[in-house]
Amino acid sequence: MPASSETLAAAKADFDRDGYAVIRGFQTTDEVQQLEEEISRYVRDILPHQPSDAAFYEDKSHPETLFRLSCLQDFSSYFAQIPKQERFVDLSAMLLKDTVVSKGIQLFGKAPRVGNETPSHQDGYYFTLEPNEALTVWLPLDRTDEENGSICYVPGSHKRGLLPHGRGDTFGFSQGLLDYTDEDRATEVTIVADPGDLIVHHSLTIHRADPNRSDRRRWAIGLVYYAGRAKVDTAAREARDRVTKEEWEAAGKV
């Protein structure tokens, strides 16, 4: 069922004030089920023919430790059409007050017991935009809670601008916030969500997630949209790509 105008207005108010919003029951059980089936099909039939950086694992010799499927839109017509769906485009355009450009769709996984932490960061560090106006729509495929690595947000942090990031130890999120303060930790909000819910955050909102300490999987689909007025700062992007590549090479991941 499409979100009501009241729900959308509330999401806009939350997004503007806090830098994130949650819309409960945005997708039906059948839609979530279809996403699940298409991911299974993708992993079974398509992924084996894709470059090695299309998927990342905590331990490559254990496929069940999958934590990222990147650039799904490039390798699958099913996943390519999802970011084009009106409901996601219209929601993103309304939140960013602009036209939006889709920048892809990926899977964020945390496998039971081994799923690593997501260090505190702002997506805008990776996006390198001027102005830094973008968002990520996050669609949980599993219940996410304090035990399996829910996303935690620092409300209002999108108003602080882009903060310094530096090298961390987490492959796939190599750059974390240099100064995640005690106050940030004290004010962070953990989002408990169910499959079908939609979570969305601004590119400057500080967020992080704990490791998965449970026996339950924590998977989510992420869709990124840039505002039409946001332009890529190519020098910053090249510098960021260089840092990432050097780190991956040093870690023996590429």
* Residue 65 or 118 having the CB closest to ligand AKG: 118
* Residue 27 or 30 having the CB closest to ligand AKG: 27
* Residue 54 or 202 having the CB closest to ligand AKG: 202
* Residue 108 or 225 having the CB closest to ligand AKG: 108
Task: Tell which one of 42, 79, 88, 138 touches ligand AKG (CB under 6 A).
Answer: 138
Cα–chain center distance at 73: 15
> Do 28 and 196 touch, CB atoms closer than 8 A?
yes
Give the C-alpha separation, 236 to 2, whole Å: 38
Specify the length of the chain in residues.
254
Give the C-alpha separation, 66 to 10, whole Å: 35
The residue to which tokens 């998927």 are assigned: 55
> Do 172 and 254 touch, CB atoms closer than 8 A?
no
State yes or no: residue 88 binds ligand AKG (CB under 6 A): no
State yes or no: residue 108 binds ligand AKG (CB under 6 A): yes
Considering all CA atoms of the chain, what is the largest pairwise distance in Å, rounded to the nearest integer? 50
* Residue 76 or 121 having the CB closest to ligand AKG: 121
Task: Tell me how far, at minimum, the Cβ of 6 lies from ligand AKG, in Å.
Answer: 26
Nearest to 83 by CA among 131, 155, 134: 134
- For the window 193-212, what string marks contact with ligand AKG as x by the rule CB under 6 A? --------------x-x---
Count, residues near ligand AKG per rule CB under 6 A: 10
Count of other CB atoms within 10 angstroms of residue 82: 19
State yes or no: residue 153 binds ligand AKG (CB under 6 A): no
Interface residue list for ligand AKG (CB under 6 A): 108, 118, 123, 136, 138, 151, 207, 209, 220, 222
